[in-house]
Chains A and B, each alone.
Chain A
Amino acid sequence: DAAVTQKPRYLIKMKGQEAEMKCIPEKGHTAVFWYQQKQSKELKFLIYFQNQQPLDQIDMVKERFSAVCPSSSLCSLGIRTCEAEDSALYLCSSRRDWGGAGTQYFGPGTRLLVL
Chain B
Amino acid sequence: AQSVTQPDARVTVSEGASLQLRCKYSYFGTPYLFWYVQYPRQGLQLLLKYYPGDPVVQGVNGFEAEFSKSNSSFHLRKASVHWSDWAVYFCAVRVTGGYKVVFGSGTRLLVSP
Contact = CB atoms under 8 A, between A and B. Distances in A.
B51 A42 contact: no
Nearest to B46: A103
Given A42-B105, A42-B106, A106 B45 contact: yes
Given A91-B43, A101-B32, A42 B101 contact: no
Given A43-B90, A48-B100, A101 B51 contact: yes
B97 A108 contact: no
Interface size class of A (residues with CB under 8 A): 20 to 34
B37 to A, nearest CB: 11
Contacts, number: 53
Interface residues of B, number: 25
Interface string B29-47: 0001010101001111110
A107 B44 CA distance: 7
Nearest to B88: A40
B100 A41 contact: no
B49 interface: yes
A48 B101 CA distance: 11
A41 B99 CA distance: 22
Interface of A: 4, 6, 31, 33, 40-43, 45, 48, 50, 55-56, 91, 93, 98-99, 101, 103-109, 111
